[in-house]
A and B are shown apart, each in its own frame.
Chain A
Amino acid sequence: MIHFQNVTKRYGEKIVLKNLNLEIRKGEFVVLIGPSGCGKTTTLKMINRLIEPDSGRIFINGEDASKQNAVELRRKIGYVIQQIGLFPNMTVEQNIAIVPKLLKYPKEEWQSIVRSLLKLVDMPYEDYAHKYPSELSGGQQQRIGVLRALAVSPPIVLMDEPFGALDPITRDSLQEEVRRIQKKLKKTIVFVTHDMGEALRMADTIVFMNEGRIVQKAAPEEMLRNPADSIISTFMGRHITSGRQSVPLYAEDFMRTKVLKVPKTSKTLECIELMSRRDVNSLIVIEDDETYFGTVTIEEIKQHGKAGRNISELVSNETITIGRKEDARTALDRLLESAANYLIVLNDDLTVAGIVTRTSTAKALGEALWGEMPA
């Protein structure tokens, strides 16, 4: 649907886009992300020819964009910009109806478009159509901005940090609304943000840019799992929080790997001594081949243990185990349901990978929220 072919853009000496190649499919929700100044806005504006490339070509629906009339092209491409895109001298209705009017739609038609679009975002026509932007909240203004871009039902919609200035709650609900509208109306959307959470949540495909180049183009899960560059990981770390819906987390993400393991041939006294030295009240017992055998608690040994005997007779195998690639959610549910203080996380070969405790969970969540500070 949109195809960048070897696109380069310079401002004076500075090369802003370097030989960019990008293919965007019909109906795809593509999010452009990257550090400030990396060329996201420039890329976006080339699609509706607000900026022309110095070299290379951009095809829209197979047609070279530079060969089309720029004004007509723009009327077929929705455009939402940050914050103040609405014209303050026009009412909500006039704002939404601009493009239909430019295209000379008859009055009844654009009026019914305004009505049905306002319905789409639950803003009753009677209450809002005749208000001016200054009478709306920031979130409502941005909703209208989105509606205006949809008014003539363009197949492509461009959005440049549309929710950057909104509070988190409003932003969340608008993200969902846009996603819903996109699915319903099957639009191709190119969306610029610098919020990784937003990207993870909304995108079919994330295009990560840095210094005028595409560093990685991948589905959100793929980018999370295999970031192609450390700069992407840095971005992820910071923003992983609001991407929680689409971020797959596994049991291993919540586990602690430093655990005390003893062979099942250990003696009871040895174990008691180890436990008191390390200040723990249970141990993981493993087989000779290091696979998981069971756990033993200090109470068990004190009550039933006899000096000099093997620990193996006292081992319980009631502690819950879970594979390291199992869903984190399942792990947490089990941990919370059970009386136990921890779960054993097993590798594929049944050796012990670590344990999930309430503390390790809290720590992992903390890291997901606030990230590990870059050194």
Chain B
Amino acid sequence: MTIMDYLNNNMATFLQSLMRHIEIVAISVLIGAFVSIPLGIYLTRHKRLALFVLAFAGTVQTIPGLVMLGFALILFGIGLMPALIVLSIYSILPILRNTYIGISQVDSSYVEAGRGIGMTDFQVLFKVELPLAASSIMSGIRISTVYTVSWATLAGMIGAGGLGDLIWTGLSTYNKTYILAGALPSAILAFVFSGLLGLLQRVLTPKGIRGESA
């Protein structure tokens, strides 16, 4: 049985897995972004805390995905929920780090110019810092997304569904076709997301500073 045969016979299941995979990735990255962008902004205002938090997040990141999933399984049981929790946690670090670095790297004279001409702190953030850091933040989101696409395959292990399901099924039944049917699309998915988010990154980078960063 080739992949094509498999796809022809199981299109509905495959599409369902694909959609579920995309769904898991999207939700995890969105949660990650919602947590890490504000947290990153907060940390730029509390540099000492930042060192600690970033170091902590970095350590968490080094815990193998399987171990994390194992904990999640023990704590939350089987299903979508524990997978989303674990993947959200993983997606936090790249975005957090890029938000923090992006804003920290905004030249302090811009911030001071903003304050000096009468912007509130809020306005300095939204009119100066975030636009100038947008490219860096978007690149964090892109990195997170690509990682999450591949990590999400692990989620199949604890019954969250997605392309991982196919891979695990394949692994447990020694079926190469199933493995490929799960692995190939997830690799392609990573490329596609990366490309799309790259475009978005470019669009969100303010015109006046485009071209400086690829």
Contacts and interface: CB of A to CB of B under 8 A. Distances in A.
Interface of A: 45, 48, 50, 71-76, 78-79, 81-91, 98-99, 102, 132-134, 148-149, 158
B118 A74 contact: yes
A148 B132 contact: no
B112 A50 contact: yes
A133 B208 contact: yes
Contact of A79 (B116, B127, B131, B208): B116
Contacts of A90: 206, 208
Contacts of A82: 109
Interface of B: 107, 109-110, 112-120, 123, 127-128, 131-132, 206-209
B208 A81 contact: no
Contact of B113 (A71, A81, A91): A81
A88 B206 contact: yes
Contacts of B207: 89, 132
Contact of B128 (A50, A87, A91, A99): A87
B109 A84 contact: yes
Contact of A89 (B112, B118, B209): B209
Q: Which of B112, B117, B127, B207 has the most CB of A within 10 A?
A: B117
A76 B116 CA distance: 10
A139 B208 CA distance: 18
B116 A84 contact: no
A48 B113 CA distance: 12
Most buried by A among B123, B132, B207: B207
B123 A87 contact: no
Contacts of B112: 50, 81
A152 to B, nearest CB: 9
Given A48-B116, A102-B118, A134-B208, A89 B131 contact: yes
B118 A75 contact: yes
B115 A89 contact: no
Contacts of B107: 84
A133 B131 CA distance: 15
Contacts of A134: 208-209
Contacts of B110: 84, 87-88
B118 A99 contact: yes
A348 to B, nearest CB: 53
Nearest to A151: B117
Contacts of B208: 87-91, 132-134
Listed residue (A72, A76, A88) with the most chain B CB atoms within 10 angstroms of its CB: A88
Which of B116, B207, B209 has the largest number of chain A CB atoms within 10 A? B116
B206 A72 contact: no
Contact of A74 (B115, B131, B132, B206): B115
A83 B109 contact: yes
A134 B212 CA distance: 11
Contacts of B123: 102
Nearest to A98: B117
